[in-house]
Amino acid sequence: MASPLNITKIPAPRVQIIDPTTGLISREWYRFFLNLFDLTGSGTNPTTLEDLQLGPPTVTIDEFTAIINRANNADLAPTYELGTISPQNSDNVSITGGNIDGTPIGDTTTSSGKFTTLNATGGIGGGNF
């Protein structure tokens, strides 16, 4: 049968850590520290003291300054005017003006179209006019 969990509480502040009669750790503090040891894995934790004593990687002043400057310069990066088409759904774009020079319309996927004026520089074929 598994042993019950040792719930030894922290000793009262009046209990000295070192027993004045023996010069060794007092019974109460020994039980408390042993309980902490048992609760934290009894030394089977894969984390070593060396792992716990490692700090963050060292960064030189020049590297730190470069990081700060990079972050500050990001705010100064040029912003480009995206125009009114950028927030639209790419499957349903409304073009209300401008030119579409040199762009084949219906070349990949044919569909119908409505035009108010059509100027053709070449032959027009297919369908009924």
pTM of the complete model beyond 0.75: no
- pLDDT attached to residue 75: 57
- How many other C-beta atoms lie within 10 A of the C-beta of residue 32? 19
Residue 40 zone, left/alpha/beta (φ > 0; ψ -120 to 50; rest)? alpha
What residue spans define the domains of the chain? 1-46
Question: Cβ(106)–Cβ(113) under 8 Å?
Answer: yes
Chunked mean pLDDT (size 10), the chain, 129 residues: 66 92 94 85 75 71 83 62 61 74 78 77 70
